[in-house]
Each structure stands twice: as C-alpha cells, then as structure tokens.
Chain A
Amino acid sequence: MQNILEVKDLKVSFHTYAGEVQAVRGVSFDLKEGEVLAIVGESGCGKSVTSQTIMRLIPSPPSVIKGGSILFGENKVDLLKLSSKEMESIRGSEIGMVFQDPMTSLNPTMTIGKQITEGLVKHQGLSKEKAQKQALELLTMVGIPRPQTRIKQYPHEFSGGMRQRVMIAIALACRPKLLIADEPTTALDVTIQAQILDLLKDLQEQTGSSIIMITHNLGVVAEIAQRVAVMYAGKIVEQGTVDDIFYRSQHPYTKGLLHSVLRLDDEEKGELVPIEGMPPDLLAPPEGCAFAARCPHALNICLKEDPQPQIVQGEHQAACWLLDERAQKTAVR
C-alpha cells in the first residue's frame, strides 16, 4: 500500500502575550491508502493543531509553522509549500474535514443543500441540477430520511446527530482521498455516536478513503482505528497498530492512559490509577522527556535529553529511554 500522507518533523508554535507556545514539537507519521489512523491524546497535546495544519486551517498569525513537511498524494506535494489558492483546490476536494461541533460548523444562513453543492460546483464544475442530484444521493448515503424535504432546510432544523451526518456528506461530496475527523462524535450522545461511527466505518469500506480520526476517547479508537498515534505535549510518544498500542504498549504515558480509563465491562471496583500531576506548560517545555515529571519510571537521562522514537517491532515505535539498550540492561521492569 502506498502512503497517501507523510508528515515529517512538523513544528507549529503560537505567539501569545506570554511568549511562544510550542504546540506541535516535531511530529512525524505516515498514513497509507485506505487506512484509519487515530491520533489520541488529552486536551492541549497538539492533536487538533496537527490536523488543522494538514488542512492549513490554523490562522497565521498567531500561529507559525516552524518547520517540517506534509507530503500528500501520489506526487507527494508538500502542502506547506502551496499558495493559499492552490491549497483551496485541495481543501474540500481531495481532503475533507469533519469538525467536532456540528452546531457551529455549518452555516446557519444557508440551506444544507446549498452547503453540500457548494463544493461540487466549485471543485468539480458540476451544473446546479447535477450537483443537486448528487447532494440527494449523498444525503441518502449518510442516512438522512426524506432527503427531498431535508435538502431545502436550514441547519437549525436538524438535530446534533443529523447535523453531523450533513457535515460528513459535505466532507465526502467530492470523494476526497483523505478525510480528517476531529472529535466527530464528542458532542453527541452515545447512541448517536454509535450511529455516526457505524456510518463512518461503512463509508470508509465503500469509498476506500483514508481517515485520520482525532479523539480523546480510547473506546472510539478501539472501535474504528487500524493504527494509533499517541500524542503528549506536542509530540507523538508512541505509534503502532491498534493491537500494539492496546496490548503491547511501551511508553509509560500510553500505559497510564490505558490504566486510568474506565471500562464498562470491568466488574472490579478497586482504586483507579490516575496519572498524577499535569502536562507541562508548552511555553517552556522541559529539556528532557516531557513526561518525565509524571513518569513512575523516570531515569536521570529522561530529565536531560529528549528520547528519540525507537522501533519496537515492525511499525510499532515509542519514544522512551527505557527502550534504549543501555537502559534495558540496568532497569528493573
């Protein structure tokens, strides 16, 4: 399988009154054709900034892309080098995006039909009638009943789940090769979340597009992802297949995250194991490993030098000094 996206050493900062916040500090990952990659992490870890940078949607200023490249498609075009006009022809046509909040990400003054056909007319040069016809098909595909009536309605006439379906229809209208979904079910109730995840899985199988799913919910990851990247303080600390991450995790942060999450099928009621402390302030990120201050296994080296990603096996990588062979000799694990 070919890579559809290669993100290399991406660095993004924000200029604030207090100084430079290093939101993304060297993120690298690949995405294969037809693959679902989940990027997980807690608030402020840089997962949304990463996805918005791929779409070139973060406003500049205050943001500055400090370095790296984002190679997209067969020709490996660097998205960071495109003019905003060139980017416009990719955004919405080759890369679609679904946002977290279905209440604010649709235009309240336009009918949803208009919002779906907008991209079709602009990117694919369809006539109004053809675009309209395709919009009806899209609405049917995402499971909106009575599309003939619904297409003439405004966003406020839809429920949250239905709006998210409309968002997905818009994102998929031009059959993008890549769909970025940033917390697409976080604002929804669980029974509606189940509907939307089901829909995304079905559509992914039908269209074969690749998906990047940004989420903080490990249950959603387990349900939908093939590969997972775990972010902490602006870096990917571990990545691998979904089984690598859930069953063979190496990084203490990944392990801590998996321990602290509650499982519905767990009957034990023992004390929960939280990760003590808080993530570091990215105004002044620590010199060494960003997790060292909260890490139960921290070594001296962790406070001084940032660990580089090490290959665990195959595609499974983790950035942790414990994986260094010198540490493996001495550490009691």
Chain B
Amino acid sequence: MTGTMGVSDSMAASDPILEVRNLQKYFQVTNGVLKAVDDVSLSIRRGETFGLVGESGCGKSTLGRTILRLYGATKGQVLFKGENVHQLKGDKLKKFNRAMQMVFQDPYASLNPRMTVGDIIAEGIDIHGLYSGAERRERVSELLHTVGLLEEHASRFPHEFSGGQRQRIGIARALAIEPEFIIADEPVSALDVSVQAQVINLFKRLQQEKWLTYLFIAHDLAMVKYISDRIGVMYLGALVEVARSNELYRQPLHPYTEALLSAIPIPDPEVERQRERIILEGDVPSPINPPSGCRFYARCPKAMPECQTETPALIQVEEEHEVACHLYKY
C-alpha cells in the first residue's frame, strides 16, 4: 500500500465535486415501503471515475437518478460543488442541469425515434440557448466527430444506426452542453463485447480530453474495475464496501464482495479449473420492508448473532478502504 500512498494523499487533497450524505430514496408501494436507497454516503473527486456495482434491484440506478434529481430524495443530501442539489432553483438549477448529464443503458429506447440525430444532440444546446444557426451546426458536427461518427449522420434518424453507434449518439448528446460530471448507467451492457470495447475506449479518451468526472453504474465488475479509480459495492439499498479498484479485487473485505468477485467467471479455462467458487445460497431479499440488521445476514457465510439485530455502519478500515460489516468493527 505504501507505494500508492503519495497518490491517494494528493487525491484526497482535492475537494470532492460530489458528496452524497445519508441519502435515502423510498418508494411507497402497495404492500409497504420499498427502500431502494437507504442511508448511502459517498464522495467523488473531480476527474475521477467512481464505479457503482451491484446486482439487479440493489438500488444503484435509483442512486444515480436521485443524484441527478430525476427523483426527489426522501432524506439526506446530494452536494454538488458544495450546494444541495435538491434545493436548487432558478438560474442555479439551470446551471446544475448543464453541469451534470446522463448516458442511459438502452440505446434503443433513450433516443427519440422521430428526431434527427442532429436535433437529438442539439436539444440541450437549444434549451440552454448556447448556439444557433451555423454555430449550432458546427458544434453538432464537432460532437459527432468527437464520438467517432460523421457529419452527415446529423440528418439521419436513430433507427438507421446500430446499437454501438446509438450509444455514441447518446454520449454526444450528454457532451453537447459541456458538462463536468457524467452519470453513465449501464452504458455498454446492451452492446456486444467487441463493440463494448470501442465505447469504453471512447469514455476513457473523453475523460482525459475534457477532465470529466464519471459515476459509472454497471453490474459487470470486470468492466467497472477496468474503467474506475474507485468502486462502491451496493447490496439491497446500502453501500457495503468502497475501495480503490485494484484493491477491491485483491483484498475484498465484505463477504458479499468476496462472493460477487468469486461468482464472475474468468475467460480462461486454466484459471477456471483451479478456481474455488463461493456459491451464495438463496436470492436477494425483497427491498420492500427489508430485514433489520445487516441486509446480507441471511446469505452470509460468516454471519454472527449480532448481524441479525445491528445494522453495520460503513467505516474506514484502511486508507481508502471502507466496509460495512461487523467482522471489521474492532
């Protein structure tokens, strides 16, 4: 760890661009309260990529959407550059909407089929009144070029493009109003592997060129590990572990992270033959009226009596490594 200390010190010195404090997002459903995000705190530094992983229904997308204000928060705060996002009004809100953008999962459903690609990309430019006429056209073709498409694509419609190309259009739309922060929610999971690599390379290049900060939400841990500086693991609405990405792989602390890493097959038959897999029993419990205590209790191979009654808090156990588990309380 000593080798990376210098880096993490200087990173820690830079202020967080985003801070989430005890955020809750509950949904009222017919048979109770669905606790999609329950008391999540995290901070993201400028220029870094924070990966958020977890299985379906763990609340990772809801967290992303609540940060962006697509959902109102039930409780807690989202601070973007020190200001509470959920209380912004007027000009400040408009500024925030420009600063934070989102790239969606489904490249088929997230583009309006009746608009040309040029108009889709320029929609934000029009709303914020940034450019018009020739300047607007120029900006659109510049954006198309940036994401690896051609100028003449501006006059075409989404159905004329493949999945990978559509995702590039979605990225160009997000970039159009020069955001500082991009939330990418499963941006490549609908794409084939050979095309995934193209889009991931694009994300990386744009980050370097424009000093963007990413919140990268995905269920594919290999992908998240590759693109992220730090990773947060979610389970049933709670953040159970946060660490630098290689560290999380080398030394997972939470039993759920351990099981999750062990469940992912590695595309190498020799490695697979020698691997011992931790197979978790049962399914993820329902987030509607979730169990008290640690939410992983019922499936945890290392559960102790106190885990059933006491909810473990996220605590720092090492430099840049936090975990919410009673095993590491002392």
Q: Is A274 a contact of B201 with CB atoms below 8 Å?
A: yes
Question: B175-198 toward A: CB 8 Å interface, digit per residue (1/0)?
Answer: 000000000000000001111111
Contact B226–A269 (Cβ < 8 Å): yes
Q: Is the CB of B219 within 8 A of A272?
A: no
Inter-chain CA distance A150–B56, complex, in Å, is: 24
Of A5-13, A16-24, A51-59, A191-199, the one contacting chain B is A191-199
Contact partner of B56 (CB less than 8 A), chosen from A189, A223, A263, is A189
Chain A residues whose CB sits within 8 angstroms of the CB of B249 once the complex forms:
264-265, 267
Q: Give the chain B neighbours of A261 by CB distance below 8 A.
A: 193, 267
CB of B87, distance to nearest CB on chain A (Å): 36
Contact across chains for B197 and A273 when beta carbons are under 8 A apart: yes
> How far apart are A4's CB and chain B's nearest CB, in angstroms?
23
Asked whether B298 is an interface residue with its Cβ less than 8 Å from the other chain, the reply is no
A216 at the interface (CB under 8 A from B): yes
- Taking a contact as CB atoms under 8 Å apart, the answer to whether A272 and B200 are in contact is yes
Contact A256–B268 (Cβ < 8 Å): no
- Let me know if A283 is at the binding interface, CB within 8 A: no
B225 contacts the other chain (CB 8 A): yes
Do B198 and A190 touch (CB < 8 A)? no
Residues of B within 8 A of A221 (CB): 267
Of A159, A223, A260, the contact of B197 (CB 8 Å cutoff): A260
For A189, give its contact among B198, B204, B219 (CB under 8 Å).
B219
**B279 adjacent to chain A (CB < 8 Å):** yes
Please report the C-alpha to C-alpha distance between residue A190 and residue B56 in the assembled complex, in whole angstroms.
10
- Checking A190, A220, A256, A275 against B260 with a beta-carbon cut-off of 8 angstroms, the contacting residue is A190
A217 within 8 Å of B (CB atoms): yes
Interface check A207, CB cutoff 8 A: no
Cβ contacts under 8 Å, A269 to chain B = 226
Chain A minimum-CB-distance residue to B54: A189
Question: Digit string of A190-230 for contact with B (CB within 8 Å is 1, else 0)?
Answer: 11111101100000000000000000111111110000000
B127 at interface, CB cutoff 8 A: no
The total of interchain contacts (Cβ-Cβ below 8 angstroms) comes to 122
How many residues of B are counted as interface, with CB atoms below 8 angstroms from the partner's CB atoms? 42
User: Contact: A278 with B164, CB < 8 Å?
Assistant: yes
B193 near A265: Cβ-Cβ < 8 Å: no
> In the complex, which of the residues A247, A256, A260, A265 contacts B196, with contact meaning CB atoms closer than 8 Å?
A260
Does B222 sit at the interface, judged by CB under 8 A? yes
> Given A42-B193, A191-B260, A274-B197, do A217 and B265 touch, yes or no (CB 8 Å)?
yes
Closest approach, in angstroms, between the C-beta of A12 and any C-beta of chain B? 21
Cα distance, A267 to B271, chains bound together (Å): 15
CB <8 Å contact, A190 and B277: no
Smallest beta-carbon distance B276→chain A, Å: 12
Chain A residues contacting B280 (CB-CB under 8 Å) are 191, 194-195
Task: Check if B263 sits within 8 Å of A194, measured CB to CB.
Answer: yes
A242 within 8 A of B: yes
Q: Contact: B192 with A216, CB < 8 Å? A: yes
Q: Provide the bound-state CA to CA distance between A219 and B223, in Å.
A: 13
Once the chains bind, are A243 and B269 in contact (CB under 8 Å)?
A: yes
| Smallest Cβ-Cβ distance to A278: which chain B residue | B162
Q: Are A222 and B226 in contact (CB under 8 A)?
A: no
- Quick check: A264 and B283 within 8 Å, CB to CB? no
Known: A194-B277, A272-B200, A274-B195. A263 touches B283 (CB 8 A): no
The contact sample of 26 A-B pairs, CB cut-off 8 A, is: A42-B192, A161-B283, A189-B56, A189-B284, A192-B55, A193-B265, A217-B265, A219-B267, A222-B267, A222-B269, A246-B270, A247-B270, A262-B222, A262-B223, A262-B226, A263-B266, A264-B221, A264-B266, A265-B271, A266-B222, A271-B201, A274-B194, A274-B197, A274-B198, A275-B197, A278-B164
The 6 closest A-B pairs by CB, nearest first: A219-B265, A274-B197, A189-B55, A218-B267, A194-B263, A275-B194
Instruction: State the A residues within 8 Å of B (CB).
Output: 42-43, 159, 161-162, 189-195, 197-198, 216-223, 242-243, 246-247, 256-258, 260-267, 269, 271-276, 278
